[in-house]
Structure 1
Amino acid sequence: MIVVENLHKSFDGTPVLKGISTTFEKGKTNLIIGQSGSGKTVFLKSLLGLFTPEEGNIIYNGITYSEMDDDQKRELRQQMGMVFQGSALFDSMSVQENVMFPLKMFSKAPLSEMQDRVDFVLNRVKLTDAHHKFPSEISGGMQKRVAIARAIVNKPQYLFCDEPNSGLDPKTAIIIDNLVQEITQEYDITTVINTHDMNSVMEIGEKIVFLKDGHKAWEGSNKEIFRTDNEAVTNFVYSSELFKKVRQMYIEERN
């Protein structure tokens, strides 16, 4: 679990995060949504420890980040897995080498155990025959699955995803969404996803935090988002005619 208390972050005197408080629960897919410039990326990077807030606390499983010593912070980073927007695979490494990279960095296990773990996670993301291929030889969807395998190879307690469906076709995006949700539930991980994909919101948004101009403007589930009267949320979510129709159908079914 991650608890965020009154988080403030500025750059050159310009406030970007303005007192955000929320909770991200274990075993759930927690989504951060909002328009460009709302503070989503800064918020995610603050959770990763890449930015230091001026005010507020981030608490990981009961321990406040600002009170951790260097060893505790190093241990926390090893408990974090990250799926980057562009997958961020090493072009010169094979799929197997990409996935093994974090193990070689942080694990002292024998190579045979590392190989077993790599085989396990690649099998889990349904890439049993891709070990020796290079990123340029596989599709964008397969690259995302490699990125997920790499992110979970060290058995993290926290999984962060930055626009995991960026550049994917709708069918592949659904596959990636389902895979992330399955892994989150199977391994009881605290997963936080930064996204603008409204299909992801509707499909796997067990907890949604909506940011607007650096504030938390709303939070709830993908079921509750249909019922909200929050104007900022409805303007953002139902900007397309498709989602307006989906919401109307949901309201009619409930009545």
Structure 2
Amino acid sequence: MIEVKDLHKSFNGVEILKGISTTFEKGKTNLIIGQSGSGKTVFLKCLLGLFNYESGSIAYDGNVFFNLTEDEKRNLRAKIGMVFQGSALFDSMTIAQNVMFPLKMFTKQSKSEMEDRVNFVLKRVNLDNAHNKMPSEASGGMQKRVAIARAIVNNPKYLFCDEPNSGLDPKTSIVIDNLIQEITDEYQIITVINSHDMNSVMEIGEKIVFLKNGLKEWEGSKETIFKTDNEAVTDFVYSSNLFKKVRKMYIDENS
């Protein structure tokens, strides 16, 4: 479990996170949502240990990050997988080399062991024959699957995804959402996804944390988000006519 308690973060005297408390459990897809400027990205970077914060705490399975020694922090980082918004693949490396990169950085495996692991994860994301392609030869959806393969190659306990569907068409977005959820459940990973995509929320939102102006305005699931009377949440969720219709259908079916 990742446990966040009363987290505060400021930049140049301006408070961005204003006392956020929540938990993220293993085997669940946990989504952080909110409008631009709500604090989502800052919150995610605090969770990753990239930003210091003024007060509060973040504990990974009971271990408060900033109480750890440098060696302990390195060991924790080796257990973290990250899918970046733009995939962040190395242009000069093949797909197989991109996926192998974390193994070279964090393990002492032999070349054959690393190759076996790369083969396994590429097959898991349905890229069996893509090893020798360059990122420039891959579609956007393919690059995202490579990024997911790289993120899970070290058998992480924690998986973070920053806008994993950014720039993808709706059909490919659903494929990526389902892949992330399958991997989360299969390997019982603690997965935290930063997203503004309501389709992702409704597809895989087992735990949803809604931020507004640096505060946790609401949390729940994709089922309970339809039932909330929180005005900030309903304004965000039902800003399109599509989701207004979906909500009405859901209420009618469950009334």
Name the counterpart of 2:245: 245
Q: Percent identity?
A: 74
The CA deviation at 1:221 is 0.2
Task: Tell me, in whole angstroms, the C-alpha distance in 1 between the residues paired with 2:76 and 2:109.
Answer: 19
Name the counterpart of 1:211: 211
Task: Tell me, in whole angstroms, the C-alpha distance in 1 between the residues paired with 2:109 and 2:127.
Answer: 23
Task: Tell me, in whole angstroms, the C-alpha distance in 2 between the residues paired with 1:74 and 1:31.
Answer: 25
Name the counterpart of 2:222: 222
Deviations 1:130-175 (A, max 9, x none): 0000011010000000000000000100000000000000000000
The CA deviation at 1:64 is 1.0
Q: Amino acid of the residue matched to residue 60 of structure 1? A: Y
Q: Which runs of 4+ in 1 moved over 2 A?
A: none
Name the counterpart of 2:190: 190
**Helix, strand or coil: the match of 2:31?**
strand
Name the counterpart of 1:158: 158
**Helix, strand or coil: the match of 2:20?**
strand
Name the counterpart of 1:234: 234
Deviations 1:4-45 (A, max 9, x none): 000000000000000000000000000000000000000000
Q: Amino acid of the residue matched to residue 157 of structure 1? A: K
The CA deviation at 1:214 is 0.1
RMSD of aligned C-alpha atoms? 0.4
Task: Tell me, in whole angstroms, the C-alpha distance in 1 between the residues paired with 2:94 and 2:66.
Answer: 38
Name the counterpart of 2:116: 116
Task: Tell me, in whole angstroms, the C-alpha distance in 2 between the residues paired with 1:65 and 1:194.
Answer: 20
The CA deviation at 1:78 is 0.7
Q: Does 1:8 align with 2:30?
A: no
Aligned residues: 255
Q: Does 1:58 align with 2:58?
A: yes
Task: Tell me, in whole angstroms, the C-alpha distance in 1 between the residues paired with 2:138 and 2:219.
Answer: 37
The CA deviation at 1:67 is 1.4
Q: Amino acid of the residue matched to residue 102 of structure 1? A: P
1:63-212 → structure 2 map (5 Å cutoff): 63-212=63-212
Q: TM (normalized to structure 1)?
A: 1.00
Q: Which blocks of at least 5 consecutive residues in structure 1 are unaligned?
A: none
Task: Tell me, in whole angstroms, the C-alpha distance in 1 between the residues paired with 2:20 and 2:138.
Answer: 40
Task: Tell me, in whole angstroms, the C-alpha distance in 1 between the residues paired with 2:70 and 2:189.
Answer: 23
The CA deviation at 1:235 is 0.2
Q: Which blocks of at least 5 consecutive residues in structure 2 are unaligned?
A: none
Task: Tell me, in whole angstroms, the C-alpha distance in 1 between the residues paired with 2:182 and 2:15.
Answer: 36
Q: TM (normalized to structure 2)?
A: 1.00
Name the counterpart of 1:36: 36
Q: Amino acid of the residue matched to residue 156 of structure 1? A: P
Task: Tell me, in whole angstroms, the C-alpha distance in 2 between the residues paired with 1:171 and 1:67.
Answer: 43
Task: Tell me, in whole angstroms, the C-alpha distance in 2 between the residues paired with 1:19 and 1:202.
Answer: 27
Task: Tell me, in whole angstroms, the C-alpha distance in 2 between the residues paired with 1:168 and 1:242.
Answer: 19
**Helix, strand or coil: the match of 2:87?**
coil
Task: Tell me, in whole angstroms, the C-alpha distance in 2 between the residues paired with 1:35 and 1:187.
Answer: 31
The CA deviation at 1:66 is 2.0
Task: Tell me, in whole angstroms, the C-alpha distance in 1 between the residues paired with 2:121 and 2:115.
Answer: 10
